[in-house]
C-alpha cells in the first residue's frame, strides 16, 4: 500500500502539526514533502534574508522528522508539476496538508486536490495556521466582519481547539531529494546585514517560553515602546509555522489563570494581537480584491503623489524625522520593525508624503522577515485610511509619536547614530538646533542628517482636504 504524503508549507514544525499528527496515526509510511516553488520564488521580492530563515527552519524540520523515523523530501519546480511526478513515483494512498487562506494558495490548492482526487487518492486538509478559519467567524447573517471589535467578540465566544500534541514515529522510504536551498542557491542577495532572529522550531519555542515567563505580564505597558524588548517577536515564527498558534493560545489561557490581576490585562492584550492577525486573514479571504485595490472604493480616486526623491528618502530612513528614520533603518538592518514604528512610517508615507499605500506594502514585502500578505495588506490599508476601519481618519504626528514612545531617544539613537550627541532637548527635532550647536557636536543638519523633507503641519492639512474631497464625492 502506498504512503501518505504530508505536504509542508508554512507549517515548518513537528509539534502540534495537524496534518502530520493525523497522518502518523493511520499506520502507513509517511513522506514529508516540501516543494521549493520556482514560480513563487520568481514572484517574491528580491531580498534573500527570509529565504535563509526558511532554510534554517527546514534544516531543523529535517532533523526533527529524522528523530521520528522519517526523512524530509524536498523537490524544486512548479508545484503542480512536482505533484504530478510524485503521483507516478510514489503511488500514494493519500495526501495530507494544512489549509492556507491567501487567494493564490486557495487557487493552487484546489488544483492539487483535483489532481489527487482524479487519481483516486484520498485528500485530507486541516485547520492549522489559524485558531478559527474565516468561514467560522461570521455575523449573525452569515457575513464577514469588517470591524475588528465585533470580530474579536465573536472569535472569543467560539470553542478554541486544543493542541494535538506530538506526532507518532513513522517510516519513510528512501527517495530522491533536491536538498534545502538557501538564498545563495536561489541567487538571492541578502541585503539585510543583521537578521532579527534565526529560524526553526527550537528557536521559536525558546523565544516563546522567554516571553511567557518574563514579559507577557507587562506587555500592555511595554508593547508601544520600541526601545524596550517588550513584544513577543513571534511574528516570523508564526509566518513560517515554526510554532503552533493553538499552543500559543493554550499557553496564554494557562498564564491568564495563574497570573496576578494586574497582569491579566496584558495577557488579554496579547491575545487581541493574535486575533488581529486572524481578522486580517478573514478580511482578505472574503475580499481577495484587496490585494490590489482599496476596500473603500472611493479612494480609487485618491490623487496619490509620487516622488523618487521622497520615496527613496523614506526607504533609506533619511526623512529628517528621527522616529520615522529609526523605524526604516531598523527594517533595513534587521528585517523586522517594531509595531509602533510600522504604524508611524506607514502614516508618514501615505499621509505626509501622500504616496500610494501599495508602494509601502511592496517595500515591506521585500524586507520583512515576518511578512504575511493578509496582515501587511490590512495594516497598510488601515494606515492609509482606505481599509476596513470604523475610524478611518488617522494621521500620526511623527514628532509627537517620537516624544511619547521614545522619550529618552534610545530607539532613535540606536538606529540613527548621527544623532548620538544631540541633546535631549533637540533629538526629536534636530533641525531646531542652533547652528553653533550643530557645529559643536558634529551634526550639521543638511549634511550629517537631513532636514525634514516635508512640513508635517502643512502636508497634514493638505491631506485632510484631499480626504474630505474624496469622501464628499462619494456621498
Of the listed 276, 298, 403, 462, which one is catalytic?
A: 276
Name the CA dihedral angle for 409, 263, 267, 201, rounded to a multiple of 10 degrees: 80
Q: Is the CB of residue 194 less than 8 Å from the CB of residue 56? A: no
Alpha-carbon distance 417 to 63, whole Å? 41
Residue 35 DSSP SS3: strand
Segment (H or E) for 207: helix 201-214
> Residues 6 or more apart from 186 whose CB is under 8 A from it?
36, 41, 48, 51
121 vs 112: CA distance, rounded Å:
11
Q: Is 273 a catalytic residue?
A: yes
Active-site residue, from 136, 205, 298, 339: 339
Closest CA to 193 of 326, 51, 323, 335: 335
Q: Is 416 left (phi over 0), alpha (psi -120 to 50) or beta?
A: beta
Coil, helix or strand for 278?
Answer: helix
Question: Residues 155, 208, 314, 357: which is the catalytic one?
Answer: 357
DSSP label of 50: H
User: Among 333, 343, 353, 347, which Cα is nearest to 417's?
Assistant: 333
Among the listed residues 251, 172, 178, 183, the one whose alpha carbon sits nearest the alpha carbon of residue 6: 172
Active site residue 357: yes
276 part of the active site: yes
Please indicate whether residue 314 is annotated as part of the active site. Answer: no
Catalytic hit among 7, 155, 380, 382? 380
Q: Name the maximum alpha-carbon separation found in the chain.
A: 83
User: Residue 202 in contact with residue 383, Cβ under 8 Å?
Assistant: no
Residue with cell 494586574: 262
Find the catalytic residue in 39, 71, 185, 273. Answer: 273
Looking at 39, 71, 205, 304, which residue is catalytic?
304
β-partners of residue 34 are 8, 74
**Catalytically annotated residues:** 273, 276, 304, 339, 357, 380
Amino acid at each position: 500500500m502506498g504512503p501518505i504524503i504530508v505536504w509542508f508549507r508554512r507549517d515548518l514544525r513537528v509539534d502540534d502539526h495537524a496534518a502530520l499528527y493525523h497522518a502518523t496515526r493511520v499506520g502507513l509510511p509517511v513522506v514529508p514533502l516540501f516543494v521549493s516553488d520556482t514560480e513563487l520564488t520568481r514572484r517574491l521580492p528580491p531580498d534573500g534574508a527570509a529565504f535563509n530563515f526558511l532554510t534554517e527552519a527546514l534544516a531543523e524540520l529535517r532533523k526533527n522528522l529524522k528523530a521520528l523515523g522519517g526523512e524530509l523530501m524536498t523537490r524544486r519546480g512548479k508545484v503542480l508539476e512536482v505533484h504530478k511526478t510524485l503521483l507516478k513515483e510514489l503511488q500514494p494512498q493519500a495526501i495530507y496538508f494544512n489549509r492556507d487562506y491567501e487567494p493564490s494558495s486557495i487557487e493552487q490548492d484546489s488544483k492539487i486536490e483535483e489532481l489527487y482526487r482524479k487519481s483516486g487518492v484520498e485528500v485530507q486538509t486541516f485547520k492549522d495556521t489559524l485558531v478559527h478559519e474565516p468561514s467560522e467567524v461570521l455575523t449573525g447573517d452569515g457575513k464577514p466582519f469588517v470591524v475588528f471589535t465585533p470580530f474579536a467578540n465573536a472569535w472569543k465566544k467560539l470553542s478554541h481547539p486544543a493542541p494535538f500534541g506530538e506526532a507518532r514515529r513513522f517510516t519513510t522510504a528512501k527517495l530522491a531529494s533536491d536538498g534545502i536551498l538557501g538564498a545563495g542557491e536561489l541567487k538571492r542577495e541578502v541585503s539585510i546585514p543583521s537578521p532579527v532572529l534565526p529560524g526553526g522550531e527550537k528557536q521559536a519555542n525558546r523565544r516563546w517560553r522567554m516571553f511567557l515567563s518574563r514579559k507577557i505580564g507587562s506587555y500592555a505597558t511595554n508593547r508601544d515602546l520600541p526601545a524596550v524588548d517588550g513584544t513577543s517577536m513571534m511574528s516570523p515564527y508564526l509566518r513560517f509555522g515554526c510554532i503552533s498558534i493553538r499552543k500559543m493560545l493554550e499557553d496564554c489561557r494557562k498564564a491568564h489563570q495563574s497570573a496576578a490581576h494586574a497582569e491579566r490585562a496584558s495577557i488579554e492584550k496579547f491575545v487581541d494581537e493574535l486575533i488581529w492577525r486572524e481578522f486580517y486573514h478573514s478580511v482578505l479571504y472574503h475580499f481577495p480584491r484587496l490585494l490590489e485595490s482599496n476596500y473603500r472604493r472611493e479612494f480609487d480616486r485618491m490623487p496619490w503623489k509620487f516622488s523618487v526623491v521622497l520615496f527613496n528618502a523614506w526607504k533609506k530612513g533619511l526623512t529628517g524625522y528621527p522616529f520615522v528614520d529609526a523605524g526604516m533603518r531598523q527594517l533595513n538592518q534587521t528585517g523586522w520593525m517594531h509595531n509602533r514604528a510600522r504604524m508611524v512610517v506607514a502614516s508618514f508615507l501615505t499621509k505626509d508624503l501622500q504616496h500610494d499605500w501599495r508602494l509601502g506594502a511592496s517595500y515591506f514585502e521585500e524586507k520583512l522577515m515576518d511578512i504575511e500578505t493578509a496582515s501587511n495588506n490590512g495594516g497598510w490599508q488601515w494606515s492609509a485610511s482606505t481599509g476596513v476601519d470604523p475610524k478611518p481618519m488617522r494621521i500620526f504626528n511623527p514628532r509627537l509619536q517620537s516624544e511619547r514612545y521614545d522619550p529618552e531617544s534610545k530607539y532613535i539613537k540606536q538606529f540613527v547614530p548621527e544623532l548620538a550627541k544631540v541633546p535631549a532637548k533637540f533629538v526629536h527635532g534636530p533641525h531646531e538646533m542652533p547652528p553653533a550647536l550643530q557645529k559643536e557636536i558634529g551634526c550639521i543638519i543638511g549634511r550629517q542628517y537631513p532636514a525634514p523633507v516635508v512640513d508635517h503641519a502643512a502636508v497634514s492639512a493638505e491631506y485632510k482636504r484631499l480626504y474630505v474631497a474624496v469622501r464628499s464625492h462619494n456621498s
